Amino acid sequence: MGSKFTKPLSAFATLTPVEQELVLKCWEAAKQSYSPYSKFPVGAAILAENEQGERKVFTGCNVENASYGGTICAERTAGVKAVSEGYRMFVTVAVVCAKIPGGPPCGFCRQFLCEFGGYRAEVLTVQNSGNDICRWTMDELLPDSFGPHSLQ
């Protein structure tokens, strides 16, 4: 299957059940997008783990601001919800722009996601309405990153 990225497309049917859940939930989250300026509604769903090893899905949408720099991306909305409930280890992140599917996380979000889950966390970008995805590791999206390890 063709992909506009270096990554091949993977069909929805090949995903694990929890990955499929994340893909469906990120579409759902995009419906709450507050994006009157860009009109680019984004949704994210993150499978995150707490210190007890319990896993839970958190969702989020982009929340824009009239002061454009105050905009928060969908990935960070979902991630902040997870961290604020004690789920600091991001395992898998699914993201979709409901209008133009296919965009990978922005640079700010890559840095943010790397903080919680590091190199091994996986990102699934939904590439089309048929839910084909591209699969990335955070190490691929943000190689040689500056992170918590850099401060030790």
Least gap, CB of 152 to ligand THU (angstroms): 28
Catalytic residue among 75, 85, 115, 140: 75
Angle at which helices 17-30 and 74-83 cross, to 10°: 120
**CA 17 to CA 102: how far, in whole Å?**
21
**CA 109 to CA 75: how far, in whole Å?**
6
Q: Choose the binding region for ligand THU from 20-28, 73-81, 122-130, 141-149 (rule: CB under 6 A).
A: 73-81
Query: x-or-dash pattern for ligand THU, window 11-50, by CB under 6 A?
Result: ------------------------x--x-x-x--------
> Does residue 101 interact with ligand THU by CB under 6 A?
no
User: Segment 113-132, which members bind ligand THU (CB under 6 A)?
Assistant: none
**CA 74 to CA 96: how far, in whole Å?**
9
129 by Cβ neighbours in 10 Å (0-12 / 13-18 / 19+) ranks as: exposed
**CA 49 to CA 82: how far, in whole Å?**
9
Nearer to ligand THU, 60 or 118 (CB): 60
> Does residue 74 interact with ligand THU by CB under 6 A?
yes
Give me 114's structure tokens: 């790397």
> Does residue 106 interact with ligand THU by CB under 6 A?
yes
**CA 98 to CA 40: how far, in whole Å?**
8
Question: Is-catalytic flag, 64?
Answer: no
Nearer to ligand THU, 75 or 132 (CB): 75
Name the site residues for ligand THU (rule: CB under 6 A).
Answer: 35, 38, 40, 42, 62, 64, 71, 73-75, 103, 105-106, 109
Q: Which residues are catalytic?
A: 75
